[in-house]
Amino acid sequence: MGKQKKFVEAITAMDVDFAQWYTDIVKKAELVDYSSVKGCMIIRPYGYAIWENIQKYLDEKFKETGHENVYMPMFIPESLLQKEKDHVEGFAPEVAWVTHGGNEELAERLCVRPTSETLFCDHYAKIIQSYNDLPKKYNQWCSVVRWEKTTRPFLRTTEFLWQEGHTAHATAEESQQETIDMLNVYANFCENALAIPVVKGQKTEKEKFAGAKATYTIESLMHDGKALQSGTSHNFGDNFSKAFNIQYNDKNSQLQYVHQTSWGMTTRLIGAIIMVHGDDSGLKLPPRIAPTQVMIVPIAQHKEGVIEKAQELKTRISKVARVGIDISDKMPGWKFNEYEMKGIPVRLEVGPKDIENNQVVLVRRDTREKLVVSMDELEIAIPKLLEDIQNSMYEHALKHREENTYSAATLDEFKEIADTKSGFIKAMWCGDKACEEKLKEVAGVTSRCIPFEQEEISDKCICCGGEAKQMVYWGKAY
């Protein structure tokens, strides 16, 4: 009667080897497979379904806020990439070059887009003439390529999927507003859909995007205490519009340069979901982003009426949640493990006794709590339970971040925390790049962001003792 698939093998425990635990999950939960191209991943159906839900949520928000989708070429001529000086310096060392088309060598080599500022600018220079043409608020969903030396699925890959928003505005105020608005869209998405709390703030000069006037970021904390930059939004001011000559006639027929932004989120968010919520049994998906929210596992399914009842429940539940059913001939224990590994928020068990008692058993993936619920109440109980799980996953992640966020008032304290703990360290900074570099050298941390919510821990820079300008989040990062 066919081969029975073997039980899901146990994965490496998180505390034993976090990196291996991560790799085990992406493989065992069938999110990703390695490809024959170094550093490029294959996103498998389950991983891609999560990405589709991320896309759907964000795309709706982008459209609600007046953005339109477009598609730019994947190639950038070398001369175009070189137009903005800081930008090319930042990206040229890590791009892939196309040198031949068919059997012929190209007159000018083309880079595979690492990001598309230069293409959008080239287009904007053509289509923007008057203040009537502004603002332009475009976005594109695509893949980009950065030639990375060391790679990890979702977190850092040679090719990755993302969206990149590119906008052009009449004034500096508008582009600043857009930059912050989109950062807020990202922050709300992480907190509401992914149940991942974030710190919103500005990147230092050292850490900002190549070519930007200011870069804003949302930073989240992984289970191992390392930070993950989860989305960035850049204000370019007129840096690019001067390089690409993007000008418009204002209401007084004066030529003005436009002010621009760009902002992006990538498949690395799936890495964040894994590392914020996962445990030693596998993935844990927040209900709002889970491809399947409820998995029905019939118990003693060979008994009369069990499969029929389970299917009837599926039909009912499909009206209020994304529901699946597994009536394969695998053992229930195998199924439990499999769907825990895949992080499905709720398992619904139904067997002959449950049917007799007009009830089902609901098992939460996040807390493993079991609830016995009357069959009559499923349409109300399940959405409520999913909502509870979503909120409780957020609270759990927030608690973890709070417990792993430290304050340091002196350099010794700072080094002590960096050496013995892992998490965010809040400390004051004078604004000098030399201090930022020194902290990296002596404590192995980088500045994560200058948070919007400032605290005054002391009035002195943690590093040089000079006058403190800002409180900064520091940490080790992916």
Question: Taking CB under 8 A as the criterion, which residues in 100-139 touch its own copies?
Answer: 100-103, 110, 112, 119, 122-123, 126-127, 130-132, 138
Read off the amino acid at residue 60.
E
Question: Could you tell me the CA-to-CA distances from 261 to 213, 248, 250, 408 in Å, in that order?
Answer: 10, 17, 20, 34
Which helix (DSSP H) or strand (DSSP E) does residue 274 occupy? helix 268-277
Does residue 45 touch its own copies according to CB under 8 A?
Answer: yes
Smallest gap from Cβ 241 to its own copies, in A, equals: 17
Smallest gap from Cβ 331 to its own copies, in A, equals: 15
Does residue 319 touch its own copies according to CB under 8 A?
Answer: no
- Taking the least distance from each CB to its own copies, the nearer of 117 and 159 is 159
Does residue 72 touch its own copies according to CB under 8 A?
Answer: yes
- N- to C-terminal Cα separation, the chain: 47
In this structure, what token pair is assigned to residue 319? 């009206």
Does residue 327 touch its own copies according to CB under 8 A?
Answer: no
Tell which residue, 431, 437, 429, has the closest CA to residue 459.
Answer: 429
Smallest gap from Cβ 33 to its own copies, in A, equals: 6
Asked if residue 135 has a cis previous peptide bond (ω within 30° of 0), the answer is yes
Q: Which of 23, 82, 247, 249 binds its own copies (CB under 8 A)?
A: 249
- Name the pairing type of β-strands 370-374 and 247-249: unpaired
Query: Is the CB of residue 90 less than 8 Å from the CB of residue 209?
Result: yes
Query: What SS3 state is found at 442?
Result: helix
Question: Taking CB under 8 A as the criterion, which residues in 154-213 touch its own copies?
Answer: 158-159, 161
- Taking the least distance from each CB to its own copies, the nearer of 41 and 430 is 41
Does residue 145 touch its own copies according to CB under 8 A?
Answer: yes
The interface region with its own copies, picked from 91-99, 214-222, 237-245, 456-464 by CB under 8 A, is 91-99
Write the CB contacts of 71 (distance below 8 Å, at least 6 apart in sequence): 140, 142
Write the CB contacts of 268 (distance below 8 Å, at least 6 apart in sequence): 154, 155, 156, 160, 228, 230, 478
In this structure, what token pair is assigned to residue 114? 């690492």
The interface region with its own copies, picked from 62-70, 205-213, 302-310, 443-451 by CB under 8 A, is 62-70
Does residue 369 touch its own copies according to CB under 8 A?
Answer: no
Read off the amino acid at residue 286.
P
In this structure, what token pair is assigned to residue 372? 């016995």
Does residue 147 touch its own copies according to CB under 8 A?
Answer: yes
Does residue 452 touch its own copies according to CB under 8 A?
Answer: no
**Cα 267 from Cα 270, distance rounded (Å):** 6
**Residues 24, 29, 32, 35: is their CA dihedral positive or negative?**
positive
Environment class of residue 93 by beta-carbon count within 10 Å: exposed (0-12), middle (13-18) or buried (19+)?
exposed
Does residue 255 touch its own copies according to CB under 8 A?
Answer: no
DSSP-assigned states of every residue in 209-235: -TT-SEEEEEEEE-TTS-EEEEEEEEE
Smallest gap from Cβ 273 to its own copies, in A, equals: 17
Query: Is the CB of residue 170 less than 8 Å from the CB of residue 259?
Result: yes
Does residue 98 touch its own copies according to CB under 8 A?
Answer: yes
- Taking the least distance from each CB to its own copies, the nearer of 129 and 357 is 129
Does residue 3 touch its own copies according to CB under 8 A?
Answer: yes
Does residue 77 touch its own copies according to CB under 8 A?
Answer: yes
- Taking the least distance from each CB to its own copies, the nearer of 119 and 199 is 119
Does residue 52 touch its own copies according to CB under 8 A?
Answer: yes
In this structure, what token pair is assigned to residue 364? 């939460």
Q: Which of 251, 302, 358, 456 binds its own copies (CB under 8 A)?
A: 251
**Cα 42 from Cα 162, distance rounded (Å):** 15
In this structure, what token pair is assigned to residue 113? 């887009």
Does residue 49 touch its own copies according to CB under 8 A?
Answer: yes
- Taking the least distance from each CB to its own copies, the nearer of 198 and 270 is 270
Tell which residue, 270, 276, 271, has the closest CA to residue 397.
Answer: 276
Smallest gap from Cβ 128 to its own copies, in A, equals: 12
- Taking the least distance from each CB to its own copies, the nearer of 249 and 311 is 249
- Taking the least distance from each CB to its own copies, the nearer of 2 and 441 is 2
Q: What is the largest CA-CA distance in the chain?
A: 82
Does residue 70 touch its own copies according to CB under 8 A?
Answer: yes
- Taking the least distance from each CB to its own copies, the nearer of 158 and 176 is 158
Give the number of residues in contact with its own copies, rule: CB under 8 A: 59
Smallest gap from Cβ 257 to its own copies, in A, equals: 19
| Sites of contact with its own copies (CB under 8 A) | 2-3, 5, 33, 35-37, 40-45, 48-49, 51-52, 68-77, 80, 93-103, 110, 112, 119, 122-123, 126-127, 130-132, 138, 142-143, 145, 147, 158-159, 161, 249, 251
